[in-house]
Structure 1
Amino acid sequence: MNNVKKYIDYSIAQIVNLCTTPSPTGFTRKAEKYLIEELSRMGYQPMSTTKGSVLVELGGQGDGLVLAAHIDTLGAMVRSIKSNGRLRLTKIGGFPENNIEGENCIIHTRKDKEYSATIQLTNASVHVYSDVGELKRDDSTVEVVIDEKVASKEEVMELGIRVGDFISFDPRTIVTERGYIKSRHLDDKASAGILLALAKMIKEENIPLNRKIYLLFTTYEEVGHGGAAGVPQDITEMISVDMGAVGDDLETDEHKVSICAKDSGGPYDYDVTTRLIDIAQEQKLNYAVDIYPRYGSDVEATLSAGFDIKHGLLGPGVYASHGYERTHREGIENTFALLVNYIHLLG
């Protein structure tokens, strides 16, 4: 393949587009619509499942393989409206409150209105409060300050804001000259961008597939059941394409593709994992094999739902998971190359 750079460039452009499309779990309609339109432009026939996942068949015959990435992200909802016009939030997904303190956000009402806001401490001013640094961060001390002239619950309700409205976080997406991609929600929109690039390459290069390949973009992964439904019945294998976590006692970094051998759900399939490792070695990819004790994936939800399949997990290394995250172009390239070779596109 002489056009790999073209598809990596496309992948990064799609990562930026997806990261800047709000999609906290439960409010993923805009991202779903974006994927349907993008895949349709390529010449595919994507479909939305009942629970909102996006499924597309890329072609091929025989036993099916699903490559899955999730497009839902961390976020929040309005838990209550305070008497002073501030909002108490409830988190969507697992993250500490200090990871969103000081972040800009958008409140999405159920009447399709949007309001900008900031997430702050209840006692935010250092010049007024002496305990700002020591204050415990939780949903009683972190609140949403709306960018409107409101000072009461009644004034907030006049805006149309209600309990149960969604809150998305400003992704602050940046691609640096050195190839680093910094953004919230690289988990898992980095992988979603890679899968879009894979679909684009298959279509444009008219590459025959030696097995049936599906892409599945799920919408409830951050709360644990994204891959539990919407999976084709004719598959024998599924690989979650999700981030590789970077930290102490781990080999993965932002420049590598991570192959996960075990996470909180237990070991991944021996044959699938071994084959991924063998291909990474044969192709001289920059890769790592790691174990993530505080991690779960879509394909484990698929297994829990009763599917009799082989399963695997791989993805680009992402630093500062569930915070302001960072990966690198090389991590995207290595992940793309491993997927390409795994489904025999170059053979």
Structure 2
Amino acid sequence: MSTYPNVKETKELIQELVSIPSPSGNTKKVIQFVDNYLKKLNVKTEYNRKGALIATLPGTNQNEHRMLTAHVDTLGAIVKEVKSNGRLRLDLIGGFNYNSIEGEYCEIQTSSGDVFTGTILMHQTSVHVYKDAGKAERNQENIEVRIDAKVENAEEVRLLGIEVGDFVSFDSRVQITDNGFIKSRHLDDKASVAILLQLIKRMKQENITLPYTTHFLISNNEEIGYGGNSNITPETVEYLAVDMGAMGDGQSTDEYTVSICAKDSSGPYHYELRKHLVELAQTNEIGYKLDIYPYYGSDASAAIRAGHDIIHGLIGPGIDSSHAYERTHESSLEQTEQLLYYYLQSNIVPY
């Protein structure tokens, strides 16, 4: 296996991406960042009406296409209520639990573009005041945002310009350790976005002409279920989602290899494509794990449900503590990019 040429750049790119707030529904800034990155590589890009970005690398075969996707939208929240005590009640964007954001720093972006910082806390946080603070349920009724502004009631909050419907993003708290770990919120799925961007850069630097015209969809609504279900060209034969591999009890995925998904909540992925990916990994000495994710759906799942006649698959770096404070290792990034590198230069599986 050839050496991974750009792991330092990949980690730095992940750090930049996770530091740009982009909860589903408010992703324009991060999509523009990705577009600017690709434009510097002279890669053709276009936007769809949902605000996602599509990059295209022409291939030798223009009658059969491939599409790869990774999503840049993240978990987040939206202001449900401006409370009488001057704090904010939240409604969640994406699938996660309130306890995973308790104590987190956040930003509130108003519709006029102003940004205020805050902290997500239990209403009954102080143990000196609330006897059963530790036993109270972490839910929408009890969790609130303490705004970093001198406000004591709803009227003072509204004078700041904060209103119902404003987006709330969570501090990524990104850290890169000397021994190769990346700890951050939103590695799902900005780690994969960084991998695809670096992969495109590598193809350009090495002057590789792909065997098939290949589209890269940077989707922006995956966390709410429909990011990758449109803008798939009629010529597209294979559709590969690049998204995190989930870790936990009963899972084989780890932080050091690429995860190849056999099945998730939407059902099995295409068997021949899965076998092709495994064969590529074995031939090129790429570390991989096969896995099943019982409570998971991808952009490829959304594309199949939308009725597209495609061969679909899912791979990605292994991510610990998904939809919370996540972690992966640079070796998982390496194995994922290497598998994609060889996959893009391989033949489409028979259909």
Matches for 1:31-110 after TM superposition, within 5 Å: 31-60=30-59, 61-62=61-62, 63-110=64-111
Aligned-residue sequence identity (percent) comes to 47
- Return the alpha-carbon distance in structure 2 between the equivalents of residues 148 and 285 of structure 1: 51
SS of corresponding position for 1:131: coil
Equivalent residue, structure 2, for 1:279 = 280
Amino acid aligned to 2:120: I
TM-score normalized by structure 2? 0.96
Amino acid aligned to 1:312: G
Equivalent residue, structure 2, for 1:11 = 10
Mapped contact 2:4–2:338 kept (Cα < 8 A) = no
Amino acid aligned to 1:55: I
Q: Which runs of 4+ in 1 moved over 4 A?
A: none
SS of corresponding position for 1:312: strand
- Return the alpha-carbon distance in structure 1 between the equivalents of residues 255 and 133 of structure 2: 33
Amino acid aligned to 1:113: D
Comparing 126-135 with 305-314, greater Cα deviation is found at 126-135
- Return the alpha-carbon distance in structure 1 between the equivalents of residues 167 and 237 of structure 2: 37
Mapped contact 1:216–1:231 kept (Cα < 8 A) = no
Mapped contact 2:239–2:312 kept (Cα < 8 A) = yes
- Return the alpha-carbon distance in structure 2 between the equivalents of residues 124 and 230 of structure 1: 47
List alignment gaps of at least 5 residues for structure 2. Answer: 347-351
CA displacement at 1:26 relative to structure 2? 0.1
Amino acid aligned to 2:151: V
Equivalent residue, structure 1, for 2:120 = 119
Matches for 1:246-285 after TM superposition, within 5 Å: 246-285=247-286
List alignment gaps of at least 5 residues for structure 1. Answer: none
- Return the alpha-carbon distance in structure 2 between the equivalents of residues 66 and 13 of structure 1: 25
Amino acid aligned to 2:28: R
CA displacement at 1:52 relative to structure 2? 0.8
CA RMSD, Structure 1 to Structure 2 (Å) = 1.3
- Return the alpha-carbon distance in structure 1 between the equivalents of residues 231 and 88 of structure 2: 35
Amino acid aligned to 1:46: T
Equivalent residue, structure 2, for 1:190 = 191
Mapped contact 1:50–1:230 kept (Cα < 8 A) = no
Amino acid aligned to 2:183: K
CA displacement at 1:11 relative to structure 2? 1.7
Equivalent residue, structure 2, for 1:25 = 24
SS of corresponding position for 2:291: strand
CA displacement at 1:45 relative to structure 2? 1.8
Amino acid aligned to 1:14: L
SS of corresponding position for 1:212: strand
CA displacement at 1:300 relative to structure 2? 1.1
- Return the alpha-carbon distance in structure 2 between the equivalents of residues 138 and 307 of structure 1: 38
The C-alpha deviation readout for 1:47-90, integer Å capped at 9, x for no partner, is 11110111010120231111100000000000010011000000
TM-score normalized by structure 1? 0.97
Equivalent residue, structure 2, for 1:319 = 320
CA displacement at 1:290 relative to structure 2? 0.5
CA displacement at 1:228 relative to structure 2? 1.4
Equivalent residue, structure 1, for 2:349 = none
